[in-house]
């Protein structure tokens, strides 16, 4: 496998780069951290015209005023990851990093993602979208199962409902959970086993990381709180399992039409061998914070953080 980072990008470092960050999603703080890191890396590598823009509802007017040559989209969640901002920049004729409108619309929606990937042989958990109100009268599927919003990232609002858990049977109206935040939820069978992830950069899978958590499951808090999760990269899994995950991640990236970097998240029931491997979702704008998985996997392949940022800009401009 070749190194996807070799060679000078040949970029004009006088170009005006806007790092679009923040916004108003549930992932605002993570986006601000990603954006600050990206801007700092560019300046360290000699970029002379970098502007950090915390997205407000006047974002179109601000972009018109600032006249970027390229936007580094460091937003996470809606509306920066769901096609809304992508469509706006398409209309404005602005080049931007990561995936475009159509891909973003599909990948943020877990049911649409399944409709694209499962017919091509990518194994994903079966599931169904349910009205949150309905779970107070009966379980949507057999326990144990996972409830999560159909179109949020970063494990926002995920609950695992077990037979001996604290949610009640059926789930109680007064019990905290995503059912209070979202009108609809995706119910999926809980896949026991190990949490793994694969980053794809410019169509090439980088590595497999196993996420070993201190308790519970790999939720938003574990992703972005130092010390809550140990990243094992490369993961200690059999070669054929690692290759299957990398192949599935790259195939999903291509089928969805992803650009730049994506990250595919997996669960693996190691008692089942390859048949226990499930792709859970594809993140089209994975985090770029110090705890994030894409920079970590890139580093394992000899790609420093600043070069990773430049590669994403180079693809946006290509």
Question: Is 27 tagged catalytic?
Answer: yes
Residues 6+ apart with CB under 8 A from 260: 97, 98, 99, 201, 202, 312, 315, 316
Residues 6+ apart with CB under 8 A from 77: 23, 25, 26, 27, 28, 31, 152, 153, 154, 156
How does strand 184-189 pair with strand 128-131? antiparallel
Question: Is 121 tagged catalytic?
Answer: no
Q: What is the dihedral of CA 124, 127, 131, 133, to 10 degrees?
A: -110
Burial 183-214 (b: 16+ CB within 10 A, else e): eebbbbebbebbbbbbbbbbebbbbbbbbeee
Q: Which of 52, 109, 188, 281 is flagged as catalytic?
A: 281
Q: Which of 28, 194, 263, 311 is flagged as catalytic?
A: 263
Question: Is 102 tagged catalytic?
Answer: no
Question: Is 263 tagged catalytic?
Answer: yes
Q: Which of 283, 292, 301, 305 is flagged as catalytic?
A: 283
* Contact of 266 with 278, CB cutoff 8 Å: yes
Question: Is 283 tagged catalytic?
Answer: yes
Q: Which of 52, 82, 265, 307 is flagged as catalytic?
A: 265
Question: Is 6 tagged catalytic?
Answer: no
Question: Is 154 tagged catalytic?
Answer: yes
Helix (H, G, I), strand (E, B) or coil at 213: strand
Question: Is 292 tagged catalytic?
Answer: no
Give the closest residue to 15 by CA, choosing from 305, 313, 315.
313
Q: Which of 22, 27, 31, 177 is flagged as catalytic?
A: 27
Q: Which of 99, 151, 154, 292 is flagged as catalytic?
A: 154
Q: How far is it, in rounded angstroms, from Cα 193 to Cα 217?
A: 11
Where in the sequence numbering do the catalytic residues fall? 27, 154, 224, 263, 265, 281, 283, 287
């Amino acid at each position: 496998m070749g190194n996807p980072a070799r060679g000078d990008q040949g970029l004009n470092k006088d170009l005006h780069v806007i790092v679009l960050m923040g916004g108003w999603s549930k992932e605002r703080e993570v986006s601000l951290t990603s954006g600050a890191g990206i801007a700092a890396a560019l300046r360290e590598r000699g970029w002379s015209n970098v502007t950090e823009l915390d997205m407000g509802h006047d974002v179109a007017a601000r972009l018109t005023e600032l006249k970027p040559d390229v936007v580094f989209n460091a937003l996470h969640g809606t509306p920066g990851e769901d096609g809304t901002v992508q469509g706006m920049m398409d209309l404005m004729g602005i080049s931007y990093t990561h995936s475009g409108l159509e891909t973003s619309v599909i990948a943020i929606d877990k049911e649409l993602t399944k409709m694209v990937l499962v017919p091509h042989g990518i194994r994903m958990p079966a599931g169904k979208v349910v009205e949150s109100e309905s779970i107070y009268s009966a379980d949507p599927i057999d326990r144990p199962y996972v409830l999560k919003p159909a179109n949020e990232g970063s494990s926002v609002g995920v609950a695992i409902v077990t037979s001996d858990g604290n949610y009640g049977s059926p789930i109680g109206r007064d019990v905290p959970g995503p059912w209070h935040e979202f009108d609809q939820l995706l119910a999926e069978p809980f896949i026991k086993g190990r949490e793994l992830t694969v980053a794809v950069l410019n169509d090439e899978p980088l590595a497999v990381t196993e996420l070993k958590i201190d308790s519970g499951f790999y939720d938003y808090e574990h992703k972005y709180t130092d010390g809550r999760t140990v990243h094992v990269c490369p993961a200690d899994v059999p070669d054929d399992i690692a290759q299957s995950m990398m192949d599935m991640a790259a195939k999903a990236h291509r089928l969805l039409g992803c650009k730049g970097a994506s990250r595919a998240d997996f669960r693996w029931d190691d008692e089942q061998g390859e048949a226990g491997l499930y792709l859970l979702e594809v993140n089209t704008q994975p985090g770029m914070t110090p705890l994030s998985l894409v920079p970590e996997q890139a580093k394992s392949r000899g790609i420093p953080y600043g070069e990773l940022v430049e590669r994403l800009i180079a693809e946006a401009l290509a």
